[in-house]
Chains A and B, each alone.
Chain A
Amino acid sequence: MNNELLNELTFFVLAVFVGFEVISKVPTILHTPLMSGTNAIHGIILVGAVLIAAGANSPLNIALGLVAVTLATTNVVGGFVVTDRMLEMFRGRQQAKKE
């Protein structure tokens, strides 16, 4: 097993624990925004999509790259915007009275 793979495995295992730890504290009322927020974060696949699309030179790669970038961008942008839309509606008693 080479060093790079070992490093990657380390990140992977640590991230599993951080993922569990961070989420176990979220109250039920925020579960929908949370699901939507984590959904936006896996839109990081856009980084991968851009990496393969940028160097595309065959028709097959161009097609794959175009679709991948489009889908990944939809995931990122849609995910964050829809989460924000949900969260801007959570207001405290005082804010609600003001309006």
Chain B
Amino acid sequence: MTTLITLAYLLAAVLFILGLSQLSSPKSARNGNFTAAAGMLIAIGATVPLLHFTRAGVAIVAIGVLIGTVIGTVGARVVKMTAIPQMVALFNGVGGGAAALVAVAELLKFGMHPPFSEALPSVLSIAIGSISFAGSLVAFAKLQELMTGRPITYPGQQIVNGLLALGVVGFAVAELAIASVPFAFVSLMVLALILGVAFVLPIGGADMPVVISLLNACTGLAVAATGFTLNNFALIVAGTLVGASGSLLTKLMSDAMGRSIGNILFGAFGQVRAGASAAAGAQGRSVRSASAEDLGTLLAYSQRVIIVPGYGLAVAQAQHAARELADVLEKRGVDVEYAIHPVAGRMPGHMNVLLAEANVPYEQLKEMDEVNDDFKNADVALIVGANDVVNPAARSTPGSPIYGMPILNADQAKNIIFMKRSMRPGFAGIDNDLMYGPKTVMFFGDAKDSLTRLVSAVKAA
């Protein structure tokens, strides 16, 4: 029987790996998700013969699975596409919480003196899982705008966070070295929860994707650690896969922002900002704006238009209007492409999902490296609700908080139409020189309205 269960776990692990590799192409990605889900069903099914149910056990498993299924399904079904990042944060956090609780329950079984090989992974799982749980909830709150998305900083913050981290390590060591006393691991859990909150608070909303990805990797590791405690092969392999892939994804994301992970996590963003926004106090500078009719004519008689979508487009639910504009332009023979910055939206790939939702064929979606040399041949760069990802300060102003981030070369297009609701700065909170450029025309208004007006103007031109 044990052999069969182990073989089933092995099959599940193979399906997880296959699923992840199928995710590498848009064509097979959906099947990849099904493959991984099948692996999950097999792993859970194979566990059933291992269970020795008590009467209460049957009830809580049934109730827990029922409630979790309802919350998970409803949450995932009703969430708006723009809110996907915070939903991922939430689902990630609950996984971390579950890993910590399982480790607690397992540790309790051993009484006062658990063997070291069981206690070490349990303690790791409790600490990492709790940090992931609390950190993910703060990330959720920031993205859902239940609290400010700006970094929350106070004097001595680094010291306080350092002490919290030391406290977590201290209680972990105490737990391992002295004895399994409830006080030690309850304290460990509470401190780890506080550390999770304190760790995410000083990080700005723009950096949340990197944080969520890191916490995703953490949950994976917490699950793997719990696997060591339970001596469960499926947990070790699946948790480690997520830990490794999540770490790599975190690095890819911070690379896309041109910054090191340390720089993102330890608050350089917040510190530089004060200086930069003071230096950029250029509210008095003038910008050009134009009517929908003028812009419609400009677009209609262009040969090549590159649309640069940003989060503002998603907030205004303007994806369909953008596709409509692309359609009428293509009908006139204009070549239309979308330039997708790696961190457009709130997460790498997020913008692709939002545009795919509006039936934009993915062949038109160009990644930054693919499209950046095309801007100089483009007649119009149409910037819709994006800001920081086209800010030339990233290339030219060493003091700027976004200095070094790779940007889209929208400033090299022959004309730039900058659609914005107002002159308010973007997520990074800094001014954008591109708006004041000689080739730039501002078109103020709600993105959806403005695009719809451009569609009529192009049709009339």
Contact = CB atoms under 8 A, between A and B. Distances in A.
Contacts, number: 390
Contacts of A47: 43-44, 47, 232, 234-235
B436 interface: no
B362 A91 contact: yes
A82 B415 CA distance: 39
Interface in A2-56: 2, 4-5, 8, 11-12, 15-20, 22-56
A11 B243 contact: no
B263 interface: no
Interface stretch (B200-208, B217-225, B304-312): B217-225
Q: Size class of B's contact patch? A: 35 or more
Nearest to B353: A86
Contact of B24 (A17, A27, A53, A95): A27
Contact of A81 (B73, B85, B236): B73
Contacts of B68: 69-77
Contacts of A84: 30, 33-34
B228 A73 contact: no
B64 A69 contact: yes
A90 B102 CA distance: 37
B320 interface: no
Contacts of B353: 32-33, 86, 89-90
Given A22-B20, A39-B92, A60-B108, A54 B51 contact: yes
A10 B78 CA distance: 41
B106 interface: yes
A57 B60 CA distance: 11
A36 B88 contact: yes
Interface string B171-198: 0000000000000000000000000000
Nearest to A7: B233
Interface string B6-34: 00000001001101110111110110111
A35 B95 contact: no
Contact of A92 (B27, B226, B232): B27
Interface stretch (B341-349, B373-381, B391-399, B437-445): B341-349
A33 B25 CA distance: 11
Given A15-B244, A48-B227, A77-B73, A37 B87 contact: no
A38 B216 contact: yes
A61 to B, nearest CB: 6
Contact of A19 (B25, B240, B362): B240
B416 to A, nearest CB: 24
B105 A64 contact: yes
B76 A49 contact: no
A37 B340 contact: no
Contacts of B94: 71-72, 74-75
Nearest to A1: B117
Contacts of A74: 67-68, 71-72, 75, 91, 94
B213 interface: yes
A99 to B, nearest CB: 6
Contacts of B365: 29
Interface string B323-350: 0000000000000000010100101111
B56 interface: yes
Interface string B109-143: 00000000100000000000000000000000000
Give 10 closest A-B pairs by Cβ, nearest first.
A73-B68, A19-B244, A69-B64, A77-B72, A78-B72, A31-B348, A15-B240, A93-B361, A81-B76, A75-B95
19 contacts: A15-B224, A29-B367, A41-B40, A43-B91, A47-B43, A47-B234, A48-B98, A54-B54, A54-B61, A65-B61, A68-B101, A69-B60, A69-B68, A72-B94, A73-B72, A75-B94, A77-B73, A78-B75, A84-B30
Given A16-B240, A45-B95, A68-B102, 5 more contacts: A26-B24, A52-B105, A73-B68, A74-B91, A90-B356
Interface of B: 13, 16-17, 19-21, 23-27, 29-30, 32-34, 36-37, 39-40, 43-44, 47, 50-54, 56-58, 60-61, 63-65, 67-69, 71-73, 75-77, 79, 81, 84-85, 87-88, 90-92, 94-95, 97-99, 101-102, 104-106, 108, 117, 212-213, 216, 219-220, 223-224, 226-228, 230-246, 248-249, 252-253, 256, 340, 342, 345, 347-350, 352-353, 356-357, 359-365, 367
